[in-house]
Every structure is written in structure tokens, then in C-alpha cells.
Amino acid sequence: MLLKRLTDACGMPGGEGEVREIILEEIKPYVDDIKVDRLGNIIATKNGKPGYPKVMIAAHMDEVGLMVKSIDDGGFIRFAQAGGLDERILVSKPVLVGKNKIQGVIGAKAIHLQEKDERETPLKTKQLYIDIGAKSKEDTEKLVKPGDYIAFDSEYVEFGNNLVKAKALDDRAGCAALIETLKHDYNVTIVAAFTVQEEIGLRGATVAAYNINPDIALVLEGTLCSDVSNVPEQSYITKMGDGPAISLMDSRTIFPKDLAKRIFDIAVKNGVGIQYRLPSAGGNDAGAIHITREGIPCAAISVPCRYIHSPSCVMSKDDFEGLKKIIKLFLEDIKEGEYIRD
């Protein structure tokens, strides 16, 4: 299964190679041109008909994770964050270190040894370490070096009411949807950008959008879903099972309302579930794309994901299927001459 392959693969910001190889293999039969730029973005073009716009569709390949900083005398690994992680979820999580995916566990001082103030305060990253079972610094150095990437060791699982649990649904869900989109033919020209380093500052999208210079752009994402216990309903950013979410505003972008409404209305007309993502913190590749060159009209369509930026993100497969349908419907609805700049 494509989504399982993508989420099981490891791809920290700047180290997306394993994910990139899967995507290149998947899209090759369906596009007319493929390039990998100097930053590592995949730029794949599927030609349409003359007179129709060039549509950039972006999904980022990287996931939040960790990086090796140093190794102490006991052979334990000290690490830094690569992307925005909640430090409260790190303790005791199994991880995979480096290209050889050495198994380890994130550890901390036992609660029995902690002072009262330590027990009452969430542990900081600097207080944590990774135990790979080595006896000494020398043993660890044979397997691990500073700069090695560290991924969460978390498998894809289907459970409950058609739900999925996996790491990296932000944004392997978007990558999988974009791959499926490329399997169909359209009048518009599609330039698919599988971007790098979104989680540390939208860096891949900045380069890709400048290079592609599209007429309009779509960003496919996994996004916040807060429909859980102890959160009042009026504070839900999105709701799982209500369909993909169209963004109106986030911390990096105010989206064109006419474009967002058009996509929303197309979904409703065709009986596909859809919702608006309420304005909130966070952002995505649209933050870089929409201010490229003289400006690019951009829409973001996201799959709601509970527990985002953790080893155990949860997504509805129904919402994911809805995302694929909405993309296809919108691309097929674009008329000759629309969105093309003078």
C-alpha cells in the first residue's frame, strides 16, 4: 500500500532521500518530465493542452524528527529537534538512528530519582538522551555520528472506524494524494512539487515556486485536528470525518477567498465532504509559494490529523479519499484561459 510505504519511510528535513526514491519510482510512468533540483525537490511535469494554466501542486516529503548532537561517555546520544515537536511526547519513544536505522529508546532520569520540581515540569530536550544499548562512547561511535538523522519507530496501523495511525502523515498523506492525482489526464499542465525542508521553514517550496513560476498553486497537507476530549467544539480547527479542510488564514498566509470558495462549492456540488480550516497558528508551503515573484494565487487543502507532529498521527481514510476526489474535480473544472497571467 502506497501510504504505508511512504509513512514507514524515514525522511527528516534535508534527509528526504528514502521518501524521494519511492516517489520517483511511483510517478515515472505518469509524467512527461522529472527533475530533482539542487535542494532535493522533485519537480515533475505532466503536460496539458495549450491555453490552459500551469498549476503547481505541492506536498512536502520531510517529517519532524531529531538529529544527533553528541555522544556522552556512557554511549548515550544527545540530540536536537528537526522541526516542531512537543517535548512532552518524547520520553520512552522508540527511535531509529542513522541510515542503518539503529534501534534506540529516548530516555530520561527515572521518576523515582527526580526532585519534586522536576516531576512537575515537562522534561526539556536537553534533559533527554537516546539509549541504543551500547556499553561505551566508543561502541556508539562505531554506529552513530553527529549529524545523523533520528526518526520515530512507528508502524502504519489501520484501526477503529476506518482510521489510520502512522508517523509522518504530515505530509505523506499529501504526497500520496499528489501521486494519485498524476495518474489522471487533465487539460491543465500540472507541475508536481514534492518539496523538502518544509518543517524547518518552507525552504524547498521557496526554491520550487520560483523555478516553476505557476499561474496558480495548490498545497496538499496534513493539518491540525483538535476534535478531542477537553477541547470545546468552538475551538475545533478541523473535525475528523467531515472531509478535507480548505484554509482561509494561518500564520503565514491569507488565502484568496474566491479560490477557496470555488473549491469548496465544487466539492459540495459533487457530494464530497469538505470543511473550512478555522484560522489558527501553523502554516504550510503556501506561505512561501504565494509571495514568490509577483505573487501566486494559492489554495491549501488538508487532511485533518489528530496528534500531528508525533509518532502516532491519526487520520480518517474517508477524509484522505475525499482529498483525492476534490483535487481531481477542481482540476477538471478549470476552463481554457482561466488564471493565466497577462
pLDDT of residue 109: 73
Give this prediction's pTM. 0.94
Domain range summary for the chain, segments of one domain joined by +: 2-63+167-333, 65-152
Q: How far apart are CA 171 and CA 130, in angstroms?
A: 26
Per-residue pLDDT tens digits of the chain, which is 342 residues long: 999 999 999 999 999 999 999 999 999 999 999 999 999 999 999 999 999 999 999 999 999 999 999 999 999 999 999 998 988 889 999 999 999 999 999 998 777 767 777 777 888 899 999 999 999 999 999 999 999 999 999 999 999 999 999 999 999 999 999 999 999 999 999 999 999 999 999 999 999 999 999 999 999 999 989 888 887 777 788 999 999 999 999 888 999 999 999 999 999 999 999 999 988 778 899 999 999 999 999 999 999 999 999 999 999 999 999 999 999 999 999 999 999 987
Say if CB 39 and CB 197 are below 8 A apart.
yes
Residue 26: active-site member: no
pLDDT of residue 113: 65
What the block records as the C-alpha cell of 179 is 501521486
pLDDT of residue 200: 92
pLDDT of residue 227: 84
What DSSP string describes 255-291? --HHHHHHHHHHHHHTT---EEEPS-S---THHHHTT
What DSSP string describes 80-103? EEES---GGG-TT-EEEETTTTEE
Out of 180, 198, 199, 221, which one is annotated catalytic? 198
Q: How far apart are CA 278 and CA 10, in angstroms?
A: 30
May I ask the CATH architecture of the domain 2-63+167-333? Answer: 3-Layer(aba) Sandwich (3.40)
Say if CB 44 and CB 20 are below 8 A apart.
no
Judge if 2-63+167-333 and 65-152 fold alike in CATH terms.
no
Give the total residue count for the chain. 342
- Burial class (CB within 10 angstroms; exposed 0-12, middle 13-18, buried 19+) of 155: exposed
Q: Is 186 helix (H, G, I), strand (E, B) or coil?
A: coil
Residue type, 231: V
May I ask the CATH architecture of the domain 65-152? Answer: Beta Barrel (2.40)
